[in-house]
Amino acid sequence: MPELPEVETLRRDLEARVIGRTITSCYVAPDTPQLVQLVSPAEFCRQLCGRRIDGFRRRGKYLIVDLDDGRTWVIHRRMSGNVLYRRPSDPLDDYVRAVFGLDDGYELRWTDLRKFGTMWLVEDATIVMETLGPEPLDAAFTPTVLSERARKRTAPIKSVILDQTVLAGMGNLYTDEALHYAKIHPLRPANKLTKRDYERLHAGILEALRMGIDGRGSTLGTTLRDHVNLDGAPGRNQETVKAYGREGEPCLNNCGGIMRRIKVGGRSSVFCSKCQPAPRTRRRGVKPRKPSVADGATKTRKPRLLAKPAV
């Protein structure tokens, strides 16, 4: 699934090419029943045609298109949705599910192998994404905010960061990268992290997202293999990842560790066996062992009775 950097890259590309363009035609394939939400595809196209595109925004993994009548066209790419900027005469792309003609002679093609992508045309975009947590790239997102939203959770920190109500836009790849930067094991319970841990994790999240945006997104693995940018080119961030997809390879921190893969909440997690030490656990029903002499404990003896007490 495209994550925050992939959606942000698309937003920036669209902003450079499509602002001010008017939508002149709209086609939605009949074999994509869930693409258009709330209204029928025919009604969606009727309302969208003739609208001018005034701006592009992003909220988490959602792309928001501001229209000239005050409404917003909201797009979620889900697993494999892409937006391509093409001439009508260009060769047909694979898995085209919708086409939006523009008044400059170009068109936006929506391609989606798995057909999970969704679109809305609404008066207020917040009704689609009202449960989302804070934006990681906003100045208001601080280590304190991250700690306050996560520290009461007993779940593994990997699962907590993936929860979109805790933090918007993070997915499997960039969470693995952030935890690796922060040297935090993905199974560590969120409520066991220290203030310093959250400071490192906050920095790791920002660094992972910055790398992803600088590399124009990632195209690799099982979750982001379908991602391409507006011009159809793959992302480049896969050339610089330090954790995701590197199972069995040496850690790039030169610590001597090997990258391992485990499942956390049903999701694959790749981490360094040395940089990201596993949390200490205690087996259920096993009481802590009493200190022995070998541990440095002082051995005590019961006093000996020199004579039997008188009866």
**Annotated catalytic residue, options 115, 267, 277, 279:** 267
**Annotated catalytic residue, options 3, 6, 107, 177:** 3
Please confirm, yes or no, whether 242 is among the known catalytic residues.
no
DSSP string of the chain? ---HHHHHHHHHHHHHHTTTPBEEEEEE-TT-TTSB-SS-HHHHHHHHTT-BEEEEEEETTEEEEEETTS-EEEEE-TTTEEEEEE-TTSPPPTTEEEEEEETTS-EEEEEESS---EEEEES-GGGTSTT----TTSTT--HHHHHHHHTT--SBHHHHHH-TTTSTT--HHHHHHHHHHHT--TTSBGGG--HHHHHHHHHHHHHHHHHHHHTT----TTTSTT---TTSPPPSGGGT-SSTT-TTSBPTT-SS-BEEEEEETTEEEEEETTTSPPPP---TTPPPPPP-GGGTPPP--PPPPSSPPP-
**Annotated catalytic residue, options 2, 41, 156, 186:** 2
**Annotated catalytic residue, options 11, 21, 61, 71:** 61
Please confirm, yes or no, whether 3 is among the known catalytic residues.
yes
Would you please indicate which residues are annotated as catalytic (active-site) residues? 2-3, 61, 267
